[in-house]
Amino acid sequence: MRIKLKKAKQRELITLAKKGITWNELAKRLNHSPGYLANELFNEKTLLSELTYTSLCNIVQRDYTSQIEKKFEDNWGRSNGGKNSKGNTKSITFPPESVKLAELIGVMLGDGNLNRQKDYKIGTYEITIAGDARYDQKYLTEYIGGLIDELFGIKVKGSQTKNTNAFFLRAHSRELIAFLESKGLKTGNKIKSQVTIPQWIIENKKFLQACLKGLIDTDGCIHHMSKRDHNLLRITFTNYNQKLLYDTRAAFIKLGFNPSKIIRSRDFYLSRQEEIRKYLKEIGFSNKKHIDRFSKLSAPSYSWSSTRASGARNLGSNPGGAMKLKVR
């Protein structure tokens, strides 16, 4: 069942539900991707499912029954045409398994989403990567956009959702969706599908390092471990996909790290200072917001030096990323 609310009421309901939390947090509570929530539902391009409508009402603790204009069966839109569309058949290059592809897989596992609506309408074969326009826009458009262009030979488009800080990078291609599926990703809701790190990445140390970099660049953060001792830093990984959460922790262990136990069913940490150094030397960051954050918080024992120009085309063979750590 699809719920059509009166004009602007769907946006209003989502705005109330999002109060005080991020798009990612609300999307995870609703079992949607951030891109689908902030672009399709918030902008009222797509009607609410009955389950999503009920969940939103429960979050805001309000009854929106009086705002319902009409209810539709789930397949109502298919009768309006486009059912036999061939979709977007844009040709791509098919890259071999590599460090660069593994990093992109990590990014997609973190903040990405594959959308395949077979036999429905043009424009529904799409990858979306979400971020915050204030901190992630340059990383997404220049670094990840360049990486996708280099790997597949296709251009991406970035857009910011009106009146929000939500930013989305998009690429449309049925072949791209099919290729990424063949490499272990899944379309639709990542929590429901419990998608995780593909085996071809797990079996190769360099690939695994690069994939973890993509995951931390999107779903990781750096902060002080103690308010009393600012020399102690911590890297935190947060994800609500339980299989991915546990498999990412296991991947760090496989690479010789000692992450914390899973906390609150969503987080684990790297807290040993020698392991922070190990992470920076062997894996590193590509997302400049993490580099800037680390430089701001880091103790005198850490320093950075540039090893290459930014951009995916200069990525090189080192999965450690754009900056190299010097430990004094």
Whole-number Å distance between alpha carbons of 296 and 308:
21
Among 165-174, 195-204, 208-217, name the one with the lowest average pLDDT.
165-174
Residue 165 in domain: yes
Query: In the chain, which residue ranges form alpha helices assigned H by DSSP?
Result: 9-18, 23-30, 34-35, 50-60, 99-111, 137-138, 145-152, 174-182, 190-193, 199-202, 205-219, 242-254, 273-282, 288-297
**Are residues 136 and 178 both part of a single domain?**
yes
Q: Give the end of a domain, one of 39, 58, 74.
A: 74
Q: What is the mean pLDDT of residues 43-47?
A: 85
Are the C-beta atoms of 310 and 285 separated by less than 8 Å?
A: no
Q: What is the mean pLDDT of the chain?
A: 82
What are 238-246's contacts with CB under 8 Å, separation 24+? Answer: 238/266, 238/267, 239/110, 239/215, 239/266, 240/28, 240/191, 240/265, 240/266, 241/190, 241/191, 241/194, 241/195, 241/196, 242/194, 243/194, 243/195, 243/196, 244/109, 244/190, 244/194, 244/195, 244/196, 244/197
Q: Which residues pair with 327 in a beta bridge?
A: 302
Q: What is the mean pLDDT of residues 74-91?
A: 46
What are 226-235's contacts with CB under 8 Å, separation 24+? Answer: 230/297, 230/299, 231/273, 231/299, 231/301, 232/271, 232/273, 233/273, 233/276, 233/294, 233/297, 233/298, 233/299, 234/269, 234/270, 234/271, 234/276, 235/269, 235/270, 235/276, 235/279
Residue 90 in domain: no
Q: At 321, is the pLDDT very low, low, confident or very high (cuts 50, 70, 90)?
A: very low
For residue 270, give the CATH number of its domain: 3.10.28.10
Whole-number Å distance between alpha carbons of 241 and 28:
9
Its pTM stands at 0.67
Which amino acid belongs to residue 11?
Answer: R
Please check the confidence at residue 304 and state whether its pLDDT lies above 60: no
Model pLDDT for residues 109-150, shown as the tens digit of each residue: 999 999 876 544 444 788 999 999 999 999 999 999 999 999
Question: Which domain, by its residues, includes 223?
Answer: 99-327
**Are residues 34 and 121 both part of a single domain?**
no
Other CB atoms within a 10 A radius of the CB of residue 236 amount to 20
For residue 27, give the CATH number of its domain: 1.10.260.40
Model pLDDT for residues 9-41, shown as the tens digit of each residue: 999 999 999 998 998 889 888 877 777 788 888
Residue whose tokens read 């979400």: 130
**Are residues 143 and 283 both part of a single domain?**
yes
Please check the confidence at residue 312 and state whether its pLDDT lies above 70: no
Residue 87 in domain: no
Please check the confidence at residue 315 and state whether its pLDDT lies above 90: no
**Are residues 115 and 69 both part of a single domain?**
no
Total domains present in the chain: 2
Residue 264 in domain: yes
Tell me what pLDDT residue 173 has: 87
